[in-house]
Structures are given as C-alpha cells and as structure tokens.
Amino acid sequence: MTSSTSPVTGIASAGASIFADALDAQAVPVTRVDWRPPMDGTESDLATVATDPLRQEANRRAAEAVLGVQAMVVDVAPASEILGLEKGQFLHAGPPLEWANASGPMRGALMGAAALEGMVDDPQDAEALFQSGANVSLEPCHHRNSVGPMAGVVSPSMWMWVLEDPADGRRAYCSLNEGLGKVLRYGAYSPEVLSKLRWMSEKLGPLLKEAVGNTAEPINATSILGQMLQMGDEAHNRNRAGTLMLMRDLAPAMVQSSADAADVAETFAFMGGNDHFFLNVAMPACKVAMDAARGIEGSSMVVAMARNGTEFGIQVAGTDDEWFTGPAQIADGLFLGDYGPEDANPDIGDSAITETIGIGGFSMATAPAIVRFVGGSVPDAFATTRRMGEITLAENNRWAIPVMEFMGAPTGIDVSKVCRTGILPQINTGMAGRVAGVGQVGAGLVNPPAEIFPAALAELARRTRARQN
C-alpha cells in the first residue's frame, strides 16, 4: 500500500507548516509527510534486499496467504490435552525467556500458575521452584502455535480456544480471558485470582466446549473481526462488540447444553461483564492467519511481534523462526487510580499479533473511543492508521475501516519499509504493574525497540547474498 493510492480522510501536507498548523487548530487530521532518512547503517542491506529477485513475489504471496485465511472457532479444550502440556511445563508470552530475566508480572503469573497446578500451596513458594529450575520449563507460546495476552502464561489445566484454518487444518490456540482487575495475565496471583481460574477450568471451559460443538453455524472469527471494525473495536484494547457477537453466536447452544441453568447464567454474566473476552479469540485468529506466511523465502514481512515483559521480539516470513529481540519499552498512556509511569512494567504480551496483522494500534482510526482508554487524540488515531499504511504491504479489504472510506486495515509490516522510513509499528496495549502480584496499572501506546528491524533486515540481506553467491 502506498499513500498515493490509499483513500484518506485527512490531508497530506508537505512543507509549509503554517497551513498544517491551521488545519490542526481546526482538528482536521493532518499527516506531515516528512522525508525521513533510512535507519542508521541500513543502506547497504536495504539495497541488497531491494534487489532480491525473490522479494516482490515472496511478499505478494505472503500477503495473499495471510489475507486468505478464514479463522474458525473449532474447539475449546485443556492445554494438557490439546498441546500435550505436562505438569511443570509453562508457556509464556514473547520471545524465549529465563526466570532470571523475567519481569515482575511474568514471575507473578508463573508463580500463580504453579499454585494452580498444585506444585506449591502458596504462590510465593514457587519462586524457589523456578529459581532452581528443577522440574519446570519455560517456553514461548509462539513455539506451540499459541498466543497469550500480557504474561501469556499457560499451564496444563488451563482451557484454550482452538482456531483453525479450514483450508489446510493449521491451528492456533489461546487461553480463556479472565476479565479485568486482579488477573493472572497482569501478574496477580491472590486466592481470588486462582479461584476464578479454577472456575474457568471446571465450568467455563467445558460449557464453551459443548456450545462450540453445537452451534447451528460454525463461528468465523475472521468475519466477526470484520464486523468489529465497523463497531468501534480495534480488537486489541476494545473487544466489546466482538465479545457480544461471540455471546450471540454461542447463546442458543449454551442454553441447550447439559450444564445447569445457574452455571449458564453465571457464564453469560461473566462473558457479558468482560469486554475483553473476545481478545483471546481475536489473537489466535490473527496468529493462524499470520502463520500462513511463515517460511516464505525472500519475504520481508513480519509474521509475529511479541513481548515477554523484558524483551520485544519479531519473527519474519523470510527468516524462518528466528527471533530478533531488543529491550521492551514502557508504554505512554493513561494510568488507573494513583498509579504512574514508575509503576509500569515494560511492554508485555503476544497481543501485538493484532498489530502484526493490521488491527489494534494499526486500525485505531476505526475505534476513536479508544483514545479515552489508551490516551492520545482522535486526530492522532487517524494519523496513526495512515502512517501504518506506509510500512505495510497490503490492505485487508475484508477488514474495512468505514470512517476512512472503507480503506482496508493496513496489513503485513515490511521490515524494509520500516528501515527505509524509520516509522515504527504502533501498538496499543495494557500496562502491567512492575511488581509481581499488582495487576494492571494502565493502558497506553508503545513501539518496538527500533534496532530489531535493522537486525532482521541484516539477516534477510545475508540470506539474499547467500542465495546469489
């Protein structure tokens, strides 16, 4: 996608900034199309990758593969069953991580999960367990075809959404959303956190499994995402319409399930009271679509962006499963209660898979009310979506943004375009407290560390040269 072909609802302004300032004062979205130099030290790699004869076709194929996926909700099942996860095995968000480098919320979530699995009675006792490393292992969700919001910790007894691309049977998985407040994914592990997780495994998971198996029509998460973008959700920090559509689609089967009416009613109240419930369906829907582009030789498209609370990592279609990582940043945004920037942990979670495919922060223009949650202004939201068009390979016409005259979501971050323009992907995100056990402290806007894109570009260039020699 280039700015010259995309429909815009704002004004492109180069040069005379008095005109641009006058428009700003009238609250018209303005994009200042500054010429920017490429990122430092990338000129040679940019030239190499630009002349790679595979690149154009590889990127076209990668975008087409992603845009072609219809992610269907096909099952809900325990991680032990569906991923073969065994006692002591824990998945986490982001690139690979060791306990020694884990941040507060990641440690808190792991400690809570160890207690949930009965490995310790008191979550505090799990610290020694993880420190010793005996009988425990940590692995990224992405290495198991999974994604997890915030700490993204998955342990064997947790139930997971199963999304499938029916074209080839590939699957992606994500745990069930716990709601807001004190929740494991933000690093909280108090008794009420664990008791809610137990209810989710005992009641919620089995009921959802039965309902998903008995809907009149299969649930198409890709189609729900398209409708969400017409209903003020950007599917990362607003999932209200998505949650409601999921309830609508499951309701008849839930009512006719074998569960007690009181449990069904409690489940409706739980889902209906948690506007983020659909996030954990949206994420694996994005994951199963992005995975369709993995391993396409010569493609410079990012297939995953993920953070573990310490490091931010990306994976790229043309560099197999290699991670390019740098320090996770602290988001700039709005804080709950008395919390402030000093209370915030660096960026954490696999939820940036939404931005990887062009929604979340990339489609903020379609969810202008999000600025009251993550900060910024409505014109900023428009400008962000247009700016993301400058670093992406395609528009997703199935995911149209009505207010931008039905422009498609800007999809498929191109490592080359990021390095050439210096424009970084824009992510909107929840913020976890930096101390284990605290929970959420705010929400805001954040970027990846810039250096991971030149690093990925260098590897693409190395592979290009290797092919040419």
Contact set with a copy of itself (CB under 8 A): 7-12, 23, 26-29, 216, 227, 230-233, 240-241, 244-245, 247-249, 251-256, 261-262, 264-266, 268-269, 272, 368-369, 371-372, 377-379, 402-403, 405-406
Distance CA 170, CA 284 (A): 11
Of 40 and 260, which has the nearer Cβ to a copy of itself?
260
Of 247 and 334, which has the nearer Cβ to a copy of itself?
247
CA dihedral 370, 371, 374, 375 (to 10 degrees): 180
CA dihedral 78, 80, 81, 83 (to 10 degrees): 100
Shortest Cβ 240–a copy of itself spacing (Å): 7
Shortest Cβ 262–a copy of itself spacing (Å): 7
The helix/strand/coil state of 88 is: coil
Distance CA 275, CA 300 (A): 35
User: How big, in percent rounded to 5, are the helix, strand and coil portions of the chain?
Assistant: 45, 20, 35
Distance CA 325, CA 330 (A): 15
Shortest Cβ 250–a copy of itself spacing (Å): 9
Shortest Cβ 21–a copy of itself spacing (Å): 14
Of 15 and 340, which has the nearer Cβ to a copy of itself?
15
Q: Are strands 311-316 and 324-327 parallel, antiparallel or unpaired?
A: antiparallel
Of 28 and 74, which has the nearer Cβ to a copy of itself?
28
Shortest Cβ 364–a copy of itself spacing (Å): 11
Q: Burial-class residue 139 by CB neighbours within 10 Å (0-12, 13-18, 19+).
A: middle
The helix/strand/coil state of 310 is: coil
Of 176 and 367, which has the nearer Cβ to a copy of itself?
367
Of 59 and 363, which has the nearer Cβ to a copy of itself?
363
Shortest Cβ 263–a copy of itself spacing (Å): 9
Token output for 409: 């979501």
Of 47 and 269, which has the nearer Cβ to a copy of itself?
269
Of 4 and 469, which has the nearer Cβ to a copy of itself?
4
Distance CA 250, CA 208 (A): 8
Shortest Cβ 58–a copy of itself spacing (Å): 33
Of 32 and 462, which has the nearer Cβ to a copy of itself?
32
Of 93 and 219, which has the nearer Cβ to a copy of itself?
219
Of 250 and 314, which has the nearer Cβ to a copy of itself?
250
Q: Are strands 348-349 and 311-316 parallel, antiparallel or unpaired?
A: unpaired
Helix H or strand E encompassing 466: helix 452-468
Distance CA 148, CA 350 (A): 5
CB 149 within 8 A of CB 350: yes
Other CB atoms within a 10 A radius of the CB of residue 403 amount to 18
CB 366 within 8 A of CB 241: no
Q: Which residues of 222-240 are buried (b: 16+ CB within 10 A; e: fewer)?
A: bbbbbebbebebbbbbbbb
Shortest Cβ 157–a copy of itself spacing (Å): 26
Shortest Cβ 249–a copy of itself spacing (Å): 7
Distance CA 403, CA 8 (A): 9
Of 245 and 418, which has the nearer Cβ to a copy of itself?
245
Residues in Cβ contact with 30 at an 8 Å cutoff, skipping those fewer than 6 apart = 10, 11, 13, 20, 23, 24, 379, 383
Shortest Cβ 431–a copy of itself spacing (Å): 22
Shortest Cβ 433–a copy of itself spacing (Å): 28
Shortest Cβ 337–a copy of itself spacing (Å): 23
Residues in Cβ contact with 162 at an 8 Å cutoff, skipping those fewer than 6 apart = 73, 74, 75, 76, 77, 82, 171, 173, 284
